[in-house]
Structure 1
């Protein structure tokens, strides 16, 4: 569900035109087309799409651009890591990962009421959350083999993120040592530090039980620290055919065990199928096949994946509490509308926790992996 256009499109176009004028020493006078919002955009960030034309070195250029505006009114996450996001995107642009190229960024709120960056717009298709790509959209129209290619390409590019050395990449600034040692303890401590902001209800027994379980089962020996995408899922990938053309939404980026990303990738797909009562699309690889592929690509065995799957389910449950409140306060949905996002997330969390507490043989993605010695 996209953030609603919070500003007048014509006025926004005029403001952006003026802003580009301040950069006339670089590119000369700029003409902008209409400003629109992509229907696939998420709820936590405002995206503005437009075409731009200018003359550079005597040549007329036309480019499709996207401006991402730092969240202000609709803030899903508690902290302002905007500068970190911009910095990370610029660093990732030098790694060979398919990330949108940042052309300019504006650190002040003087123009659009918040900082923003301007990126090259990447053409392609994004699997939608609403309605779920398991029920409707371009993925449903693909043959099963192509669906598998889409899914596996997502796993491959996720593994490519995890193969990066955070120190060599320059991503060490994402460490949050004030919340604990780098790893699962820090991820959990950082997230739970802001529970009041998310507003999960005190009577949410599934969330309370999951938090108790997570605190009691934090892994000890986790292996190498990885760069985490944070919101790793096929719904944050722009696909050109079946290949990833751009990885989007890095606002949850962190440092920690790569399995946290892998578990999120699995859980978000499970939520959009089993979690909402939709059959999973034929052709999409299951849990065991997905994990095996990821292990092959990163060159090691997955560690403590059940813990990370509970953590993924818990985080999503808590975040959806915040999203539900924002939807209610924004007036996007008519009063009395039953929007079951948080209810479904809570029910799936309870199931994931029960599976792990009882050592179930299946976690919704085929036979569970047997615990193997770590590499």
Structure 2
């Protein structure tokens, strides 16, 4: 679901043209095409797309560009991590990882009301969240073997992230020692430090039970620390055919056990199928096959994956509470709309807890999880 384009496209084009003019010593006069937004843009970030043409070193150059604007009014996450994202994207661009290439960044809010990045635009297709790619869209139209290739390409890209050495790449600045040693405990303490911001209802007994379970089962033998993409899912990958071309949305990046990313990758797909009552697309590899492929590509054995799956389900439940409130306050949805995102996330969290031996209460928040439809 895209952030609504609340700025005038023609005025935005004029402002960006002026901004490019401030860099005329680098690239000369720039001509911009119409400004649009991508259909697949996420709710937490504003993306502006346009073509630009300029003369550089005597040669006329054309470039498809994307501007990502730092979140202001529609902020899903509690911390201002913009500078960290910019820094991380620049670092990752030197690793060979498929991330959008940063051409320029503007740290001030003078031009667009917030800092922004100018990146090379990566064309391709992104599996959609709404409607779920399990129900319709280009992925659903592919034959099963190509669907498997899309999924496995995402797993391989995730493994490539986890093979990076955070210290060697300079990503060790993501550590948060004020929340304890690097690892699952640090991730849990950092996330729960901001629960008031997310605004989970006091009567969400499922979320309460999950938090108690997580505190009681923090692993203490996790192995090496990895760079975590954070929002690792095929819905944050631009594909050209079945091949990943760019990994997007690093605002949840952190350091910790790589299994946290793997669990998020699995859970987000589960939410978009079972969690909303949709049948999972045939051809997509299942949990065991996915874990085996990730282990092969990373050269490590997945540890404590059930813990990380509960943590993924809990985090998504909490984050959807914030998203639901933003949707209501923004007016994107008509008043009185029964948008089931948070209810479905809570129900799926309850199921994940039950699978891991927790006596999670089934009462206290919303109806039971819908079963997948067979037709």
> Structure 2: how far apart are the matches of 1:57 and 1:358?
65
Separation in 2, partners of 1:332, 1:18: 31
Q: Residue 291 of structure 1 aligns with which residue?
A: 291
What is the 5 A alignment of 1:3-14?
3-14=3-14
Match of residue 109 from structure 2 = 109
TM-score normalised according to structure 1 size: 0.95
The CA deviation at 1:6 is: 2.0
CA shift digits 1:115-163 (9 cap, x unpaired): 0000000010000000000001000110000000000010001000000
> How far off is 1:357 after superposition?
1.5
Which residue in the other structure is 1:220 paired with?
220
SS at match of 2:356: helix
Aligned to 1:55: 55
> CA–CA distance in 1 between the matches of 2:48 and 2:179?
35
Distance in 2 of aligned mates of 1:14 and 1:203: 49
Q: CA deviation at 1:234?
A: 0.2
What residue in structure 2 maps to residue 22 of structure 1?
22
Distance 1:35 1:135 in 2: 30
SS in structure 1 at match of 2:98: coil
Asked if 1:347 corresponds to 2:328, the answer is no
Alpha-carbon shift at residue 358 of structure 1 (Å): 5.7
Distance across 2 between alignment mates of 1:358 and 1:81: 34
Distance 2:48 2:357 in 1: 45
Cα deviation, 1:339-369, whole Å, max 9, x if unaligned, reads 100000000000001110169xxxxxxxxxx
Normalising by structure 2, we get a TM-score of 0.95
Any idea what SS the aligned residue of 2:68 has?
strand
Give me the whole-angstrom Cα distance separating, in 2, the residues matched to 1:208 and 1:303: 25
Q: Alignment partner of 1:39: what SS?
A: coil
CA–CA separation in structure 1 for the residues paired with 2:347 and 2:32: 46
Instruction: Provide the C-alpha distance between the structure 1 equivalents of 2:227 and 2:303, rounded to a whole number of angstroms.
Output: 16
Q: Is the contact between residue 207 and residue 314 of structure 2 (CA under 8 Å) also seen in structure 1?
A: yes
Q: Superposed, which structure 2 residues align to 1:235-250 within 5 Å? A: 235-250=235-250
Structure 2 unpaired stretches of 5+: 360-375
Aligned partners of 2:306, 2:122: CA distance in 1, in Å? 35
Cα distance per residue 1:37-95 (max 9 Å; x no partner)? 10100000000001001011111111100000000000000000100100000000010
- Residue 190 of structure 2 is matched in structure 1 by 190
Q: Could you tell me which residue of structure 1 aligns to residue 328 of structure 2?
A: 328
* Partner Cα distance (2:342, 2:60) in 1: 49
The corresponding residue for 2:98 is 98
Name the residue aligned to 1:363. Answer: none
Distance in 2, Cα, partners of 1:194 & 1:206: 18
Q: Deviation digits for residues 194-227 of structure 1, max 9, x if unmatched?
A: 0000000000011000000000000001000000
Supply the distance in 2 between the matched residues of 1:292 and 1:63 (Cα, whole angstroms).
Answer: 40
Secondary structure of the equivalent of 2:128? coil
Matched position secondary structure for 1:357: coil
Is there any run of 5+ residues in structure 1 with no aligned partner, and where? Answer: 360-375
Kept after mapping to 1: 8 A contact 2:213/2:358: no
Q: Aligned partners of 1:295, 1:108: CA distance in 2, in Å?
A: 43
Give the Cα–Cα distance (whole angstroms) in 2 for the partners of residues 193 and 6 of structure 1. Answer: 32
Aligned to 1:254: 254
Backbone CA RMSD of aligned residues = 0.8
